[in-house]
Structure 1
């Protein structure tokens, strides 16, 4: 096995739900010889969707890793979820990948979750190629999808294929680099594509498309550009190099055509992964994947069960051998790599050693969590961690029996290790266990996992919205905390000013103390008191956000002042000054896309308005109308049932978190009640 970093590709398959990601991954497994039977999502037999919940629902919930080989290159592939509720899986996969294949539905084009995942990939600097899938479906239009990429994603999308045939008559592609036609005469992958001349009726259009391709890619290489300007025809090798450079610089996105379900275009997609996506250490801004350097690895996923934990890691430098002791620089503790595994979906192949550039799983790490760095104890390093989104929805859980009470704590501990976007807290008033997450589906799946995987029965409350509190004006308050009860006294005096910040700014703290009005060692205690009080705002007990607290002045007593007293004083001062600063309730608002037959358009828009929705526009799509709206999350509970009733079951929708907006007074009063 030649696992030198240059012979490795770490890639993800990302897309909107139902664009065909998992089917594409399944076909990659089949064509590379990793599986000998084509798993299908629709019949619950997909190799990559091996979790029972995934097979029952027909969607990807957990990112699944597998290893395949194509043209002597090892491809570590992660199939990610398309549903917004499981976006943490996409984010943490993109953090450790060197490239991605973005799958687009040939009918729908760029969809909301495509945009979300695209922005995530931008944030992590991940180079991409695009695969326009499902071109055999009624209404599929390759050119329209490419245009939607340019318009909605703002990228230089460069088609390297031209489809041969349309809809049910889609049989192949013109390879614009080689000016050859590739056609698939059977759907079952029993024969390789036929390599023939470009059909005469397509020749003029193909030559024009090739000119546009050359114009877009030769700019990536000075020598190729100069030769092209002199009228010389670039060689295939020059064109491949230009595209590879453009992809790695994220200057362009090559667009391929196909139908994964009918096995059309899978081989050319694999060739594109090998030819154009970067090897470890090649993409701009990445660390050189040196196998002889000290170990540096990032844990990006934890799978926990009753037998222990399996930690997925990406090695950025060095080697990891079975039995090695490594340092978790996040905890300062040593961990032992008892076993190393190359993953093939739910199957494992044991390895003796992993090298820089590889993605694999480790058994034996007891305290390692998502986003923590593992390094050589003699050369500790700290890699950038993984951002975790804030939850927008809560669910109250109560165990049915005393036995369930004992199992619930252990099960939730494991589930939170696996999915850091789930949060847990105890409600101080009711004593209930509150589980928080990114959406109804995520929490529904979590409750099913409690029952089916861990055998814990729970009583589930209604979903609750994760409101926030903020302020609309600045305010200032002086507060004295003074207590004398026979023993040591308590004294702290401070002047606190708060002022509003933009959405998403969180809580900021600043000290403007001069002249020792408050000793320097007590200032961190004031900040701690402010942040503790902000965890439960004074309006209705929701977290207070998007404000700056400024410590302006204060006073202290030589004997009666302490850090604890200043923390108490600051917490009280914040709660009091917050109520003077025009407090407001913020509610999560969702970007909603509804796809409905035109005859139901008026009813659907009317219903969205009743839900306090703001319709931003609507557009025609083949056989349907697409509505773009912003709707408060509170109003979207149970929406699928209403939508089905309004449209005789023919409409569908997707939504994702857009941001927080000020809630109307009536909503604020109900939330505070």
Structure 2
């Protein structure tokens, strides 16, 4: 049986030390490493050793009883949470470590919510119980209060408390118990099923550093987990990580979901196929090559160049969406002696490995931009570029990633007809739900525009982010419908429909009520009663909103939304006035109307008339010569009204 187990936690809760203990007890490694000693098996990257934190989600493999375990040690720092979320998609089970010293922290709640989104069955391990003054029972109550009431403490094993806990959640089993008495195997099997169905979450405690409770926890984890992958079905797999080896080969990490994969197999993705040239099984930074991989295994392959992280291959056509989305962007600064194409090439490699970077080349300003979670990530990127590509970069001050949308439905018209070219596009552009992106509908009749050209319009609308008129930020939350269009059998050529489509979109935006959007956090704050006044005042000053505060014991919990721009540095202030005893959870909560739109628009200073990639002006032809028609006159000049 193959089981993929993720280890997740707030930074410094002891994930890596815990993982080392599992590897040591199963004789995978001969000695236990430590992050602070820079000798841990899973934090093998030099940057991880230098910084003493996990940055990359690396895996170790061990065998225990009749199962093969793949454990993935994930980053705990919020700046690297996209890496953590990418690993979550292939986990069969997760273990959340919670420090008995610190209890449930802000990032713990973020981890918990992501696991619930992906429906990953979860265990808890309360770590560092050897520290003086810690109390595992009180941390367990914290878990039940903040995360889920359905947490069972495995410490007392399967006693009367266990029977009561399960019976409260399974009436059929209770009835059987009343009739025939206690059958331990049946009750444990029910417990396993309820864990798998995310109805119950098991918890244990101990000390990873002092090796207390680890092997006992592993025994119970082994007993209470199972997977059922089919080797006989059609091949299907999910891409969860991409790396490049020392030779520059692209290495694609897969979770095989069904069937079998062999070297030299052709793997289909969308309408293309590529041949597998090598299959590797990684443990730490070392790997061995094998001839085939079967369902349930985590493997890495060479030969694939097209699929990206989150894509499914083979029999499953799906793509994972991610919640941990950067809200900041930064300019890459590099020495002019290095050719910009080389810098861009290197950053495109990094972009394949971390799609959240969204590396973008600004043709007009000749600049490279990246999207990031925070300043620590930028510092790490500097080190990565230096170590891998042997040149130095720095980054401009991170700025908020704004977006734009519209408030009213409008029609957009674009015509592109310089001599020997011809394309016309009519679009309906409507506001859509918040955080819905750009969706496309087609009501154009094939008699008006060929199916091929209709598909071109769709492609050009969805091929990239389009600039809004207020700040040049990405357009979002709109539904665009192709109403009609026109081509010419002889004169329409490559690129004509891109020109007409972009102009139609832009012409529509010129007539619309444009709205600037900014990213928001969904926050949850827990503080002592005497600090709630200060917290609510800070939220109001930050242009946030809050629900009615809730009192739990001697603490007060408040939830709400607040702009990232005003709250991104609040954690330092919060830690200071709460003396580290409050809890602040910040989770990206999507985009909404910008609280200071006029100020931002003025500061960015985007001049829509000078955008080299977009114009709302149409081009028509008369007497063998093209002429321009401005956006406010273009509608009347269209050919297929």
Please give the TM-score of this superposition, normalised by the length of structure 2: 0.82
User: Which residue in 2 is equivalent to 1:299?
Assistant: 239
Q: Measure the CA separation in 2 of the matches of 1:48 and 1:493.
A: 54
Shift of 1:467: 0.7
What secondary structure is seen at the aligned counterpart in 2 of 1:126? coil
Shift of 1:137: 4.4
User: Which residue in 1 is equivalent to 2:612?
Assistant: none
Asked if structure 2 preserves the Cα contact closer than 8 Å seen for 1:319 and 1:356, the reply is yes
Does 2:330 correspond to 1:395?
Answer: yes
After alignment, is 102-111 or 75-84 more displaced?
Answer: 102-111
Q: Which one of 337, 346, 364 corresponds to residue 285 of structure 2?
A: 346
Q: Measure the CA separation in 1 of the matches of 2:582 and 2:145.
A: 25
Q: Measure the CA separation in 2 of the matches of 1:362 and 1:483.
A: 48
User: Which residue in 2 is equivalent to 1:117?
Assistant: 111
What secondary structure is seen at the aligned counterpart in 1 of 2:355? coil
User: Which residue in 1 is equivalent to 2:474?
Assistant: 543
Change (3 A) 1:383 1:105: farther
User: Which residue in 1 is equivalent to 2:399?
Assistant: 464
What secondary structure is seen at the aligned counterpart in 2 of 1:453? helix
What secondary structure is seen at the aligned counterpart in 2 of 1:509? strand
User: Which residue in 2 is equivalent to 1:157?
Assistant: 151
What secondary structure is seen at the aligned counterpart in 2 of 1:402? coil
Q: Measure the CA separation in 2 of the matches of 1:592 and 1:40.
A: 33
Q: Measure the CA separation in 1 of the matches of 2:575 and 2:114.
A: 32
Does 2:318 correspond to 1:384?
Answer: yes
Asked if structure 2 preserves the Cα contact closer than 8 Å seen for 1:10 and 1:98, the reply is yes
User: Which residue in 2 is equivalent to 1:166?
Assistant: none
Change (3 A) 1:216 1:50: farther
What secondary structure is seen at the aligned counterpart in 2 of 1:421? helix
**Equivalence map 1:472-621=2 (5 Å):** 472-477=407-412, 479=413, 481=415, 483=417, 487-488=419-420, 490=422, 492=424, 494=426, 496-513=427-444, 516-531=447-462, 535-552=466-483, 564-592=495-523, 609-614=540-545
Q: Measure the CA separation in 2 of the matches of 1:320 and 1:270.
A: 30
User: Which residue in 1 is equivalent to 2:183?
Assistant: 234
Shift of 1:324: 3.6
Change (3 A) 1:467 1:139: farther
Asked if structure 2 preserves the Cα contact closer than 8 Å seen for 1:217 and 1:239, the reply is no
Shift of 1:457: 0.9
Change (3 A) 1:597 1:453: farther
Deviation track 1:577-634 (CA, whole Å, cap 9, x = no partner) reads 2243321111112245678898987767655554434465778999998876644223
Change (3 A) 1:336 1:622: same
Shift of 1:312: 2.3
Q: Measure the CA separation in 2 of the matches of 1:514 and 1:319.
A: 44
User: Which residue in 1 is equivalent to 2:634?
Assistant: none
User: Which residue in 2 is equivalent to 1:169?
Assistant: none
Does 2:353 correspond to 1:418?
Answer: yes
Deviation track 1:36-73 (CA, whole Å, cap 9, x = no partner) reads 33322344333222222223333221111001122242
User: Which residue in 2 is equivalent to 1:135?
Assistant: 129
What secondary structure is seen at the aligned counterpart in 2 of 1:24? helix
Change (3 A) 1:529 1:331: closer
Q: Measure the CA separation in 2 of the matches of 1:138 and 1:127.
A: 31
CA RMSD of aligned residues (A): 3.7
Please give the TM-score of this superposition, normalised by the length of structure 1: 0.78
Q: Measure the CA separation in 2 of the matches of 1:18 and 1:55.
A: 14
Q: Measure the CA separation in 2 of the matches of 1:214 and 1:570.
A: 60
Shift of 1:502: 1.4
Does 2:165 correspond to 1:213?
Answer: yes
User: Which residue in 2 is equivalent to 1:312?
Assistant: 253
Gaps of 5+ in 1: 1-5, 162-174, 180-206, 282-287, 375-379
What secondary structure is seen at the aligned counterpart in 2 of 1:39? coil
User: Which residue in 1 is equivalent to 2:294?
Assistant: 355
Does 2:175 correspond to 1:246?
Answer: no
Shift of 1:535: 1.4
What secondary structure is seen at the aligned counterpart in 1 of 2:220? helix
Asked if structure 1 preserves the Cα contact closer than 8 Å seen for 2:268 and 2:274, the reply is yes
**Equivalence map 1:136-285=2 (5 Å):** 136-137=130-131, 140-154=134-148, 156-161=150-155, 175-177=156-158, 179=159, 207=160, 209-216=161-168, 219=171, 224-230=173-179, 232-235=181-184, 237-279=185-227, 281=228
**Equivalence map 1:43-58=2 (5 Å):** 43-58=37-52
What secondary structure is seen at the aligned counterpart in 1 of 2:389? coil
Change (3 A) 1:488 1:651: same
Q: Which one of 27, 30, 34 corresponds to residue 40 of structure 1?
A: 34
Q: Which one of 62, 71, 94 corresponds to residue 68 of structure 1?
A: 62
Q: Measure the CA separation in 2 of the matches of 1:73 and 1:480.
A: 61
Shift of 1:241: 1.2
Shift of 1:542: 0.8
Asked if structure 2 preserves the Cα contact closer than 8 Å seen for 1:108 and 1:621, the reply is no
Deviation track 1:369-428 (CA, whole Å, cap 9, x = no partner) reads 434556xxxxx5345333355542211113214247575344323322222222111112
Shift of 1:216: 4.1
Count of residue pairs the alignment pairs up = 602
Change (3 A) 1:142 1:628: farther
Does 2:93 correspond to 1:94?
Answer: no
Shift of 1:575: 1.7
Q: Measure the CA separation in 1 of the matches of 2:89 and 2:61.
A: 18
Change (3 A) 1:55 1:625: farther
Q: Measure the CA separation in 2 of the matches of 1:493 and 1:354.
A: 49
Change (3 A) 1:491 1:430: closer
What secondary structure is seen at the aligned counterpart in 2 of 1:116? helix
Asked if structure 1 preserves the Cα contact closer than 8 Å seen for 2:421 and 2:496, the reply is no
Asked if structure 2 preserves the Cα contact closer than 8 Å seen for 1:539 and 1:583, the reply is yes
